[in-house]
Structure 1
Amino acid sequence: MGGQYRITGDKYPRMRRPRRRGRLVVLTVASAAVLGMGGWGTLQLIDVFTGGGDSASANGTKAACAEPASRTAAPKALPEPATITVNVLNATTRGGLAKKTAEELKKRGFAIGKVGNATEEYDKKVKGIGVLLGPAAALDTSLPVLGAQLADAERRTDPARKGGEVDLIIGDGFKALTGKADADRTLTALAEPETTPASKKSC
């Protein structure tokens, strides 16, 4: 070549593109990430179909965690109305309430004892619908059965009282006994066993 610039010698500089190491690093990291995600997904699928690596039962399937069973309380042994003797006593100034109430209780199967006015301790001193009074042993036996016939009546026990009779003392707020259908439903609910959930079982 002529002119001002002239190349001499038999070696020429090699014109090579610079290596793009940054791109190689990025590609390597991306490939590793893809492989990692693929492996993680595979493990998840394996966990789904094998039960997460837990020990399997003899037939090759994971033993199911049993649901906690509910506990059923024993039914309450409540006495029948026919075995309960009720004294019907009127603590109000209205006449005839004791006799009328006693007749209705007799129709519902109760045995009737004394019918008349309340003793001085309660006469004209019961402002609510009534008081159910009995010995201490009647608190969870006779009184709940009688209480079904007069909802919201106050229940009292006298530890010194002897015998099994209970008193129904009619108060100023009394209008009538609880309807028979409602009373029967209450007695049924009292007699039915109560079901309570058992504690949760950890799997």
Structure 2
Amino acid sequence: MSMLTPSGMGGKYKVTGTAYPRMRRPRRRGRIVAAVVASVVVLGLFGWGAVQLFHVFRGDDGDNQASGSPQNTPSCAPVTPATPGKPMALPQPAGVTVSVLNATARGGLAKSTADELAKRGFKVARFGNAEPPYDKKVTQSALIVAGPAGEAAAREAGTQVVGSAVKIDPARKGKGVDLLIGNGFSALASPADVAKARVVAANPPPPKPSCRPVSPSATGPARKS
């Protein structure tokens, strides 16, 4: 008698097929999934708690950590408050002696510019090519170079070229100025632009405030050892 034949059937009936009756209750996958998720949540809570305790023992500020700002990032404090630029009475063009120097690769700019400045009342000392320290190195429209005694004259000369910059050389003597024509030069400013530039040159805007790095440990509360 086959082991699969029920008792008393004399082997007439047999169990066929590939599936066999289960001898135990099927597992419920939902319970297994729920248990896994609960384990992950519990482990996450334990990990978060451990991180918080770590920061508490280190004395970190929770607000700074939440905002993502690094603890050792220095802040910027102004060294001195911004003060208005020093007003200065500008001389008339007749009181300015200027040397016109071409710092570009374009020929003829020095003479044509010098002639136009002379028509506007400036005293032209000379014109020609710029010296090697400035030759082909002036990127703006013009650079006005003068000594401390010629600062007012340099500002006046700078009003004639839109986008020009003034450089004061402490080692330079006298009131004469050099007008270095740069790569951005196209022409002298119009009379209307000159009038506007004179107002700005006589009353320069306040300088940008400078700052120094401040360590957080220098401004934060002292810790007890």
Equivalent residue for 2:106?
A: 94
Percentage of identical aligned residues: 48
Consecutive unaligned residues in structure 2, runs of 5 or more: 1-86, 204-225
Residues 1:163 and 2:174 are matched in the alignment: yes
State the TM-score, normalizing by the size of structure 2: 0.48
Aligned mates of 2:202, 2:164 — CA distance in 1: 20
State the TM-score, normalizing by the size of structure 1: 0.53
Aligned mates of 2:182, 2:201 — CA distance in 1: 25
The CA deviation at 1:185 is 3.7
User: Which of 125, 129, 140 lines up with 1:128 in the alignment?
Assistant: 140
Aligned mates of 1:173, 1:147 — CA distance in 2: 14
Aligned mates of 1:169, 1:189 — CA distance in 2: 21
The CA deviation at 1:184 is 2.7
Equivalent residue for 1:144?
A: 155
CA RMSD of aligned residues (A): 2.1
For residues 41-56 of structure 1, what are the structure 2 equivalents within 5 Å? none
Q: Secondary structure at the match of 2:186?
A: coil
The CA deviation at 1:100 is 0.5
Letter in 2 for 1:126: V
Consecutive unaligned residues in structure 1, runs of 5 or more: 1-74, 193-203
Aligned mates of 1:159, 1:189 — CA distance in 2: 23
Equivalent residue for 2:45?
A: none
Letter in 1 for 2:185: F
Instruction: Tell me: CA distance 1:96–1:145, structure 2 relative to 1, closer, same or farther (3 Å).
Output: same
Most deviating of 153-162 and 177-186? 177-186
Residues 1:112 and 2:124 are matched in the alignment: yes
The CA deviation at 1:151 is 2.2
1:121-179, Cα deviation, whole Å (9 max, x unpaired):
1011112212100001233x112211111122121011111111101000111111111
Aligned mates of 1:116, 1:190 — CA distance in 2: 26
1:6-54, Cα deviation, whole Å (9 max, x unpaired):
xxxxxxxxxxxxxxxxxxxxxxxxxxxxxxxxxxxxxxxxxxxxxxxxx
Q: List structure 1 segments (4+ residues) > 3 angstroms apart after TM superposition.
A: 188-192
Instruction: Tell me: CA distance 1:94–1:109, structure 2 relative to 1, closer, same or farther (3 Å).
Output: same
User: Which of 151, 154, 168 lines up with 2:165 in the alignment?
Assistant: 154
Aligned mates of 1:165, 1:183 — CA distance in 2: 20
The CA deviation at 1:190 is 5.5
The answer to whether the 8 A contact 2:143-2:165 is kept is yes
Q: Which has the larger radius of gyration?
A: 1
Equivalent residue for 2:94?
A: 82
Residues 1:182 and 2:175 are matched in the alignment: no
Letter in 1 for 2:97: T
